[in-house]
Amino acid sequence: MRRSIIISMILTGFTAMAAQIIYMRELLVVFYGNELSISFILAGWLISGAIGSAVFGRFADRIVSKIKAFSLCQMALGLLLIAGIVAVKFVKIFLGVNPGEIVGLFPIIAASFAILAPICILMGFIFSLGCRMYEDHSGPRPWNAIGSIYILEAVGSIVGGALTGLILIKSFDALHIAAMLALLNFLAAFILNRRASVFLIAIIVALWSFGGFAKIERYSLKKQWPGYEVLDSKNSIYGNILIARRGEDYTLFNNGLLSFTIPDKPSSEEAVHLALLEHKDPKRVLLIGGGVGGLVEEILKHRVERVDYVEMDPSIIEISVKYLPESYYKALKEARVSIKNTDGRFFVKNSKDLYDCVIIHTGDPYTAEGNRYYTAEFFNEVKKRLKAGGLLSLGLTSSESYISRPLAEFLRSIYATLRSVFNEVFIIPGETAYFLASDSVGSLTYDNRILEERTLARKLDTQYVRDYYLFSKLSPEKIAYSDKVIKNREGAIINHDSRPIAYYYGLIFWTTLFRDSVFSNILRSVTEPVVWRSMGIFVMLFAVISILYRRSFKRSTLMAVMAGGFSSMAFQLIILLTFQTMYGYLFYKLGIILTAFMVGLALGAILVGLFSNQVRRTDLSNSNLVRNRIMLIAVQGDFILFSILLGAIFSKFCPASLFPVLSVIAGSIGGAQFAIANKILLGQKRDVGRVGGLSYGVDLFGSFLGALLTGIFLIPILGIPKTCFAVAIINTAVLALLLINMRVEE
């Protein structure tokens, strides 16, 4: 039976990580995938798990037939996984959201919690019940059961994350992966309780064999995209690509959002010709993103010698070539065009070629990932790739008639960042504002007559970017208004890799698109002084708590577990964001970093378990209590030291090989703390389910706060070094609380 429990808990970890991957991806297809929506989805996942573990976990010790209850939970989890994915696919219909439409924040929060809560609450309860079951079959060390279950779940998470992220997600849609997870859970339940699960196993096998899940998938796509003929939907390691047709128009959606529509000559002509006409004789052009949407075709009209087109996800080109008429992608086959399937920033950093013009067409920096193409560091990298007189061009959402304050702050940040790198920056106003930057003063012009002459000299075949268009676009009145609003750099903050403030401004502007301005007001009110004042209040609050709880080391231990969950999540976000910024979004390497963190969690808990077993053999006196407290205080100090170390390392460029190592260290500190804390909390008691559930729930609640606060507020507002310092302050306050209560007898 003990072996069956071990297998079941490894499977639980596998299921949890795999489910998190597919649910996050599916929800991001429905909801706009910036840090705010991602944080709310992840927060819903974590807080639901905390409720299941801390609130419902206390009942685990009271259940008489635990094996039967556990098998029933596994069967219920399998059913919920399938039902949840189906619910995600139809949530747009329920919310009344049109294809490509951005969903408001309150619907995101409500829908995410409603779908994820049953699954995560059940998984949290399964952890508590697993602790109780393992203790019943593992001998006289109840504190060892919680650590063992924690390790087993971490091992399952390692395998689940690697297998799902690198293999399953590329070969199957979310519904089929959910069906696989359900089948695995039903089989595990079969080992523990054979009768109850046979029927469910038969249903899954039958639905899969007769194409039931495929039919549900096709039907859901049809309902999600009314008015469109869905030609194909494909998952890659980078996201979901869907191509649809409406009449003669073809539209490609990337993770549920409009990527491009063909034909759209005005947009493609504008994005290319406004840039290339500013150069006297462009021969070599670098295009990052947007080539399939018609930009490559427009670039080739200038009779350039070479175009390097960088598109990170090859699936975008593959699906376009498969379904679009040849006239829309034939430009990609020209000998002058070289397609690079790699990260744009990675390419710029490592390329030795020089260009006359670099065009960035990656969309607005409303996410930390997109923000990487709008920082001072990236602009400096582009500057090194430009020939004398070369220019950089990028387009951002704007307005031709009225630029609101949130939008102005967003655009000013980008302008100030460009001006910190380039000697000359021009802005061509419109619904999309085009920023043109060059280090050669006098090479850019607002004179529409010069651009018209170049249009004629190059014999450009254009439908929209012509004499009358240029006359209107470059009118002195429009340019004067745009310059007055955007070029006012007073209070504008430069956008850096280590302080991605532009995506924070982007989040503020994004929230103003909805009727409810609550989140917009919250985001606008949070500044760096506000963050530091909040930190001061936090430290004062801890001083009060240390007085109220001065006779309870166990309560202080729970505070340490919460701070540990917060810190571990903050460390992971910092490591991932820094790696992504320095080296590009290389998915398999990010997968290695995430797996390394889970390895660290397991390693830390294992080392504590081995040390504790050795101590128990040699010393059965009350000194173990003191020893455990000293170990917890030491680990709390490790959080502080690692925070300072991380800030120092990431203030400079560091090698890629160091990131997995840092992730292992971060995970091992968190795993060690969790194992030690549970020994202290449990003491000589045997209510393993309640204690394990409580500590796990508190840890998840801390992670919930870390996910919500670090990505949205701390990193963009403070920057990475100062965020590390803030994490160190939080852990210092907790360390002081532990030291005050060190000698309390309980």
**CATH number for the domain including 432?**
3.40.50.150
Give me 281's structure tokens.
Answer: 């004789």
Show the domain range for 201.
1-224
Residues 497 and 535 in one domain: no
Residues 202 and 303 in one domain: no
309: which strand partners? 287, 339
Structural domain contains residue 566: yes
Residues 535 and 498 in one domain: no
* Residue 497, C-beta contacts closer than 8 angstroms, at least 6 positions apart: 372, 375, 376, 377, 378, 578, 581, 582
Structural domain contains residue 603: yes
Residues 155 and 6 in one domain: yes
Compute CA distances 442 → 132, 279, 438, 727, whole Å.
75, 11, 9, 47
- CA–CA separation, 460 and 466 (whole Å): 9
- CA–CA separation, 280 and 298 (whole Å): 17
Q: Give just the sign of the alpha carbon dihedral 361, 364, 366, 368.
A: positive
Structural domain contains residue 234: no
210-234 burial, b if ≥16 CB within 10 A, otherwise e? Answer: eeebeebbeebbeebbeebebbebb
| Pairing assessment for the beta strands 337-340 and 306-310 based on DSSP bridges | parallel
First to last CA, the chain: 35
**CATH number for the domain including 568?**
1.20.1250.20
Residues 488 and 607 in one domain: no
Choose the final residue of a domain: 224, 257, 281: 224
Choose the final residue of a domain: 224, 251, 278: 224
Q: What does pLDDT average to in each consecutive run of 10 residues of the chain (746 residues)?
A: 76 86 79 68 82 80 79 88 89 74 74 89 85 65 66 84 79 87 85 68 82 82 78 77 84 75 83 92 91 86 91 84 82 88 87 93 81 92 93 91 88 94 93 92 90 90 85 89 86 88 86 71 86 86 69 82 92 84 60 78 80 52 74 93 91 78 92 88 67 83 88 87 93 88 69
Structural domain contains residue 623: yes
Structural domain contains residue 233: no
Residues 377 and 496 in one domain: yes
| Long-range contacts formed by 80-84: CB under 8 A, 24+ apart | 80/118, 80/119, 80/122, 81/15, 81/19, 81/119, 81/178, 81/181, 81/182, 81/185, 82/175, 82/178, 82/179, 82/182, 84/23, 84/115, 84/116, 84/118, 84/119, 84/178
**pLDDT value at residue 617:** 44
Structural domain contains residue 490: yes
Q: Which of 274, 266, 271 is nearest to 446 (CA)?
A: 274
**pLDDT value at residue 612:** 60
Residues 597 and 633 in one domain: yes
- What is the number of structural domains in the chain? 3
Residues 212 and 279 in one domain: no
**pLDDT value at residue 623:** 62
**pLDDT value at residue 739:** 87
Residues 672 and 626 in one domain: yes
Choose the final residue of a domain: 467, 487, 511: 511
Structural domain contains residue 262: no
Residues 403 and 376 in one domain: yes
Structural domain contains residue 238: no
Residues 536 and 631 in one domain: yes
What predicted TM-score, i.e. pTM, was given to this entire model? 0.83
Opening angle at CA 492, ends 489 and 498, nearest 5: 140
Q: Give just the sign of the alpha carbon dihedral 712, 713, 719, 723.
A: negative
**CATH number for the domain including 74?**
1.20.1250
Compute CA distances 475 → 11, 398, 443, 471, whole Å.
65, 17, 19, 6
| Long-range contacts formed by 262-267: CB under 8 A, 24+ apart | 262/293, 262/294, 262/324, 262/328, 263/294, 263/328, 264/293, 264/294, 265/294, 265/463, 265/464, 266/464, 267/293, 267/294, 267/432
Residues 537 and 654 in one domain: yes
* Residue 18, C-beta contacts closer than 8 angstroms, at least 6 positions apart: 160, 161, 163, 164, 168, 177, 181
